[in-house]
Structure 1
Amino acid sequence: MVSFGDSKFVKKVCGITQASYQHGWDERNGGNVSLRLTAEDLVGFDDVSEVKRTLDLGFDAKVLSGSYFLVTATGRYFRNVISQPGLDLGLVKITDDGQHADLLWGYEDGAKPTSEFPSHLMSHIKRLKVDPEQRVVMHCHPTNVIALSFTHELDERSITRLLWKMQAESLVVFPEGVGIIPYMTPGTNEIGKATSDKMSEFRTVIWPHHGIFGTGDDLDEAFGLIETVEKAAAIYSQICAQGGEIRQEITDEQLGDLAHAFGVVASPKFLS
């Protein structure tokens, strides 16, 4: 029998969740990940053809009906996923009515998808309209990004420009900038809607005083995007710890040169 638990998809999520925990981004049961799969991805696995349970989504995901998602469970710790994926991960298929998800693998002890799953689905829907190759949504709690949301004006232009100027890699990795929503209660459809509205323009959205949502074509890309944003915020934190005076910086002209050299289009809203 070929088990889905031995698949490259499960192994990759295990690796990413462990790396995120080791970075200090996912204390206790913080953080969640969803990976969209196709029917072709599931060919050859013998244990994904039978519906184990049907779960209520609490959200109308009809536009995603028939889609498969590998998603972390609610209330679970990222540090444990690598040792017990069959408990902390689940493979679900969105039903035709869009209101439910059929569990095909995982959640062996009765677990359910993360409480942020509706927010993930909203972001998947929006990103698919922008780029049909987008398959991953990841939410975590990067320390320096959260700290920045307490000390800096919550303005997309000023925070994007700050992060761009902290390291040469920033503009190359997120040339569209970063989105920001107001502080909102997590785990609600309202915060999911606000986040997905930003996802039409950005691949990463900061939740002030809480964390970040990042997307990508694959798990490495989504993780690397968040990692780059967090590294830029960490550099700024170090500058502040050293007195906060910036004597030299990457200029706007140099940002433009970076964009040209790497063939990316920097958002004209943020590059003046």
Structure 2
Amino acid sequence: MKSIIEDRPALAKQVAEVAEVAGYLWQKGWAERNGGNITINITDVVDSAIRNLKPISGRVDIGKYLPNLKGCYFFCKGTNKRMRDLARWPMENGSVIRICEDCSSYEIIADKPICPTSELPSHLSMHNYLIGSGSTYKAAVHTHPIDLIAMTHNPIFLKKDALTKLLWSMIPETRAFCPKGLGIIPYALPSSLELADSTVKELIEYDVVMWEKHGVCAVGENVMEAFDMVDTLSKSAQIYLMAKSMGFEPEGMSDAQMEELKVAFNLPK
């Protein structure tokens, strides 16, 4: 059967970027077994032929009313699918879904009836918020960076912006390329609506949110941008943990130095 991405360069490019990032997540050790998820809003590259495709699944309830997603299309990693396989065979380990007219259910339209990630409510809630706020962000990445998760096991780092300021101070690039910092969400059951609601609340202030003892979610213009923010934060965490393993508390950049960066790069916080 011909894949939906064949003869559609714009759509194929976006799916290829998802596959590339999936490979990076696996290589970094952030995607054990079927860990982590990626969704991307592909509505802008969907043509009339795709819009007329009949569903290959029944309607599936999302569990939430998401009015801004009516008629939208998403490419999603499949549930129980591995990032290392998504990297090699994206259309065999992910699917294209269409949000139904009721704004609270979806149907799979291509290529295979592979159920999307179990954390779809969180992902779609993020996309619904982004569209509603006028954002141009289209990608959401959830992954399990070892260093960042380890830091959430220390209550000191769970206080608002405590981890943000620490990570910003480790290397100038983190302050420059993750200017909104890192939001913290207290532990909640994975895949729960509670987690979805908390994530959306944090996105009002942050582009990257940390799920305590679980992982991070990042949103961006594209999947590569979302990955890059997590990668940059992880580098800062590694610098901090390396210094601690050498027996000293890293000095970090001073408040004055970080303020200098804020002015130089015209940063929001």
- For normalisation by structure 1, the TM-score amounts to 0.90
Cα distance in 2 between the residues matched to 1:201 and 1:239: 29
Cα distance in 2 between the residues matched to 1:186 and 1:265: 31
1:230 aligned residue (228, 234, 251): 234
Cα distance in 1 between the residues matched to 2:201 and 2:237: 24
Relative distance call for 1:244 and 1:4 in structure 2 (3 A) is farther
**Match of residue 70 from structure 1:** 75
1:263 aligned residue (244, 262, 266): 266
Contact kept in structure 1, 2:160 and 2:184, CA below 8 Å: yes
Contact kept in structure 2, 1:160 and 1:178, CA below 8 Å: yes
1:200 aligned residue (182, 200, 204): 204
2:38 aligned residue (24, 33, 46): 33
1:118 aligned residue (98, 118, 121): 121
Gaps (5+ residues) in structure 2?
7-11
One-letter identity of the residue aligned with 2:79: T
Comparing 222-231 and 147-156, the one that deviates more: 147-156
Cα distance in 1 between the residues matched to 2:160 and 2:130: 19
Q: Report the Cα offset of residue 235 of structure 1.
A: 1.0
Cα distance in 2 between the residues matched to 1:176 and 1:100: 32
**Match of residue 5 from structure 2:** 5
Q: Report the Cα offset of residue 146 of structure 1.
A: 0.4
Relative distance call for 1:66 and 1:46 in structure 2 (3 A) is closer
Cα distance in 2 between the residues matched to 1:221 and 1:23: 17
Cα distance in 2 between the residues matched to 1:253 and 1:64: 43
Q: CA-to-partner distance for each residue in 1:62-82, whole Å, 9 max, x for gaps?
A: 331111111111111000113
**Match of residue 156 from structure 1:** 160
One-letter identity of the residue aligned with 1:113: P
- For normalisation by structure 2, the TM-score amounts to 0.91
Cα distance in 2 between the residues matched to 1:54 and 1:173: 42
One-letter identity of the residue aligned with 1:234: Q
Map 1:46-125 onto structure 2 (within 5 A): 49-56=53-60, 57-106=62-111, 108=112, 110-125=113-128
Q: Are positions 1:22 and 2:24 aligned together?
A: no
One-letter identity of the residue aligned with 2:30: W
* Pairs aligned (count): 262
Q: CA-to-partner distance for each residue in 1:219-238, whole Å, 9 max, x for gaps?
A: 11101011111111111111
The ranges of structure 1 where at least 4 consecutive aligned residues each deviate by more than 4 angstroms after the TM superposition are 44-48
Contact kept in structure 1, 2:161 and 2:183, CA below 8 Å: no
Q: Report the Cα offset of residue 21 of structure 1.
A: 0.8
**Match of residue 269 from structure 1:** none
Contact kept in structure 2, 1:30 and 1:77, CA below 8 Å: yes
Gaps (5+ residues) in structure 1?
267-272
Q: CA-to-partner distance for each residue in 1:54-106, whole Å, 9 max, x for gaps?
A: 34123222331111111111111000113332221111110010122121213
Q: Report the Cα offset of residue 196 of structure 1.
A: 0.8
Relative distance call for 1:152 and 1:231 in structure 2 (3 A) is farther
Comparing 177-186 and 53-62, the one that deviates more: 53-62
Q: CA-to-partner distance for each residue in 1:102-124, whole Å, 9 max, x for gaps?
A: 21213x2x420101000011111
One-letter identity of the residue aligned with 1:194: S
One-letter identity of the residue aligned with 2:213: H
Contact kept in structure 2, 1:137 and 1:215, CA below 8 Å: yes
Cα distance in 1 between the residues matched to 2:175 and 2:95: 35
**Match of residue 131 from structure 2:** 128
One-letter identity of the residue aligned with 1:249: G
Contact kept in structure 2, 1:62 and 1:98, CA below 8 Å: yes
**Match of residue 270 from structure 1:** none
Relative distance call for 1:134 and 1:148 in structure 2 (3 A) is same
**Equivalent pairs: percent with the same residue?**
29
One-letter identity of the residue aligned with 2:91: G
Contact kept in structure 2, 1:48 and 1:104, CA below 8 Å: no
Q: Are positions 1:176 and 2:180 aligned together?
A: yes
One-letter identity of the residue aligned with 2:257: Q
Q: CA-to-partner distance for each residue in 1:113-172, whole Å, 9 max, x for gaps?
A: 101000011111222334420101110000100011113511122111101101101111
Contact kept in structure 2, 1:62 and 1:96, CA below 8 Å: no
Corresponding residue SS for 1:70: strand
